[in-house]
Amino acid sequence: MSLAYFVRRMVFAALALAALMTSAFILVRLTGDPVNLYLPVDASDAAREAMRGRLGLDRSLLTQFFDWAGDMLRLDFGMSLWHNRPAMDVVLEALPNTLALGAIALTLAFVAAIVVGSIAAVNAGGWIDRGINVLSQAAASVPDFWLGLMGVLLFAVTFRLLPTSGFGGPVYWVLPVACLFARPFGTLVQIVRGSMIEALNATFVRTARAKGARSKRVIFVHALRNALLPVVTVTGDLAAQFAGGGGVVEVVFGFPGIGKLLIDGILKRDFAIVQASIFAVAVVIFIINILVDMLYASIDPRVRVE
């Protein structure tokens, strides 16, 4: 990856980030005034006006925008109204939890999908393939919320194997990971299966077999390497989605991640939290995209990242 390419990517990312943050600034303000949410219903109009003044919400939108943009350039996202702490501090506590949760779920889904998808492709048309097809489609379409509650009822309440919810040691991660695992697993199995069937029927694989290469080597080295590119593309997209947090899963399990923080921030009109969360997630997505590009090049040398 050349320096010029990297600089070009950085410039585009900065422009995209500026556009995104401007939209976020406008959109959160369109959703309503936080003052009514934060003051008791009985508070007087004077108290409401005073709070608007303290928060700077009584100034023109343009003045608010320029002040906010200036602060953001210094990476100052302001104080969270709800948490009464700097918004970026709160976001940086939640973000690693979400990234770890997403990375574990997605890695497991990626590995499992390659194995299961390959099995389906090798047995294409047979009963194993049909079974995997049904299973993967169900996994890709089951709602997170339902899966979460069923997981709690089955593994926490009935079998007492896992805690219902919360945050801590490895056992607390099992159910949220399982819920987040299902959809990418189902999606990726379908893609692995399709591209593997195509690869296994390609001329180079037939040639390799004709030359007497062993079955496992043909599947894992020749066919899989060629089938991986679309899988990596989709996994990259899924990783970008996961960076924003599995909102529903985090809410159900009381998992202190960025998805839950963002949902709470929107509901509580905590502008600073919403803006800081969007910024942090956008930066992570940019990094993921760069990493995916680099991964492309290492899987398929014909792809040049420039």
Partner 1 sequence: MWTTSIGKSAKIGLLAFSLAASVAIPSYAASDALTVVVTDEPKSLDPCDTDLSGNARVLRNNITETLVNLSPADGSVEPSLATAWEQVGDLAWKFTLREGVSFHDGKAFDAAAVAVALKRAQDPTLACEVGLATLKGIVLTPEVVDAKTLVIHTDFVEPILPNKLSALDIGSPDTPTHAKSREPIGTGPYKLAAWTPGQSITLTAFDKYWGDKPAIKDATILWRAESAVRAAMVDTGEAQIAYEIAPQDGTTANDHAFPNAETSVLRIDQEVAPLNDKRVREALNLAIDRDGLIGTIFHPQAQKAMQVVLPSVFGYNADIPVWSYDPEKARGLLDAARADGVPVDTEIVIYGRIGIYPNSSESLEAIQTMLADAGFNVRLEMLETSPWLKKLLKPWDGGRQPSILQTQIDNTEGDAVFTLPNRFTSDGNTSSIADTKLDTLISDASKATGDERKRLFQEAFKYLAVDAINIVPLFHMVTIARIAPDVNYTPDVQAGNEIKLKTISYR
133 binds partner 1, rule: CB under 8 A = no
27 binds partner 1, rule: CB under 8 A = no
**Residue indicated by tokens 């009935």:** 158
CB of 47 to partner 1, least distance (A): 5
d(C-alpha 184, C-alpha 239), whole Å: 9
d(C-alpha 74, C-alpha 36), whole Å: 30
d(C-alpha 247, C-alpha 253), whole Å: 10
CB of 48 to partner 1, least distance (A): 8
53 binds partner 1, rule: CB under 8 A = no
Cα 169 to Cα 24, 53, 165, 173, 245: the distances in Å are: 35, 45, 12, 7, 19
Q: Which stretch binds partner 1 (CB under 8 A): 26-34, 189-197, 273-281, 288-296?
A: 26-34
Find the binder of partner 1 among 16, 37, 69, 294 (CB under 8 A). Answer: 37
165 binds partner 1, rule: CB under 8 A = yes
Cα 123 to Cα 64, 131, 203, 219, 223: the distances in Å are: 62, 11, 19, 12, 15
**Residue indicated by tokens 């919320």:** 145
Find the binder of partner 1 among 2, 22, 36, 201 (CB under 8 A). Answer: 36
Two tokens, residue 273: 């939290």
Find the binder of partner 1 among 33, 129, 293, 300 (CB under 8 A). Answer: 33
193 binds partner 1, rule: CB under 8 A = no
83 binds partner 1, rule: CB under 8 A = yes
Which CB sits closer to partner 1, 51 or 280? 51
51 binds partner 1, rule: CB under 8 A = yes
CA angle 237, 238, 244 (to 5 degrees): 100
89 φ/ψ sector (left φ>0, alpha ψ -120 to 50, else beta) = alpha
Cα 111 from chain centre: 17
CB of 21 to partner 1, least distance (A): 22
96 binds partner 1, rule: CB under 8 A = no
92 binds partner 1, rule: CB under 8 A = no
d(C-alpha 278, C-alpha 256), whole Å: 16
**Residue indicated by tokens 């963002």:** 262
CB of 228 to partner 1, least distance (A): 19
238 binds partner 1, rule: CB under 8 A = no
Binding site for partner 1 (CB under 8 A): 31-34, 36-37, 39-45, 47, 50-51, 54, 82-85, 90, 93-94, 115, 119, 149, 152-153, 156-157, 160-167, 169-171, 174, 216, 251-254, 256, 260-261, 267, 269
